[in-house]
Amino acid sequence: MNTVDFHPVDIIKLILLIAYVIIILAIQDISPAVQDALIIGTHVFALTSVYVLFETLWLALTILIGVVFSILAHLAYMEDWDIARFEPFDIAFANLTLMLIIIIVVFKEIPLWTLPLVITITVANTVFYDISAVYIVSSGFVNLGFAIYVFYRLCKSSEERDNRFMVIALLLGITGSVFFITDGNYGDKDYGKFHSIWHVCSYSAIYFAARSIVSTETNLRKQRLQFGEGIQYTKLAYH
């Protein structure tokens, strides 16, 4: 099995996210104003994901647009704007990013047949944004698929994927999901505290999932995928 050398950015990112989670959980009472600041500020953890995927510009921009809408949605709650104008975009882009990242990790090439599925799920999450079961179930199935793929890779390794980074991404995804499910609603006592941890874990999971893709290039920024041609069923990431 080929591996990807740990870059100093990888180490720094792991240290920062672990330190953040420990410190935030250790603080018993955090004022609402500070929690609001934490919610907005933790979007900075997405920047390394944007950077590492920048050579795949359309995907990096998708993540960046999602970050913008996430900030706007949170500001809508904080400033009492019309949340219905912003939250559908936040939910849609969060799930869109999740699906796209998992697709590029699981497949060597993006199968064209996945695009209608991605579009359909994204539209459904936008239309039914106020029904939490819709996006929780859809993201749950996608996460389950990724978990199955990671366990498969642990049993049958590939020269084109680094299992260490995939396991890190999976663990961060699971940890973040636990905090997302239990953070409650905006205005609850520890909502900002727990939701900020969700941001840190989810954006870091995206980063490490992208880092699991092995290539001959040694730079952090490199082309990470291509689209399949025709209607063939693209193989999983192995020869």
Q: Is residue 161 part of a domain?
A: yes
Per-residue pLDDT of 152-179, as tens digits, reads 999 988 888 889 999 999 999 999 888 8
Per-residue pLDDT of 21-44, as tens digits, reads 999 999 988 899 999 999 999 999
Q: Is residue 136 part of a domain?
A: yes
Q: Is residue 144 part of a domain?
A: yes
pLDDT class of 195 with cuts at 50, 70, 90 = very high
Q: How many domains does the chain have?
A: 1
Q: Is residue 50 part of a domain?
A: yes
- Stretch 177-184: mean pLDDT: 84
143 against 234, higher pLDDT? 143
Per-residue pLDDT of 62-113, as tens digits, reads 999 999 999 999 999 888 888 888 888 888 898 899 999 999 898 888 888 8
The stretches of the chain forming alpha helices (DSSP H) are 8-26, 32-41, 47-52, 57-79, 87-106, 114-127, 132-155, 163-182, 191-211
CA atoms within 13 A on the CB side of 177: 18
Range of the domain at 186: 31-211
Q: Is residue 4 part of a domain?
A: no
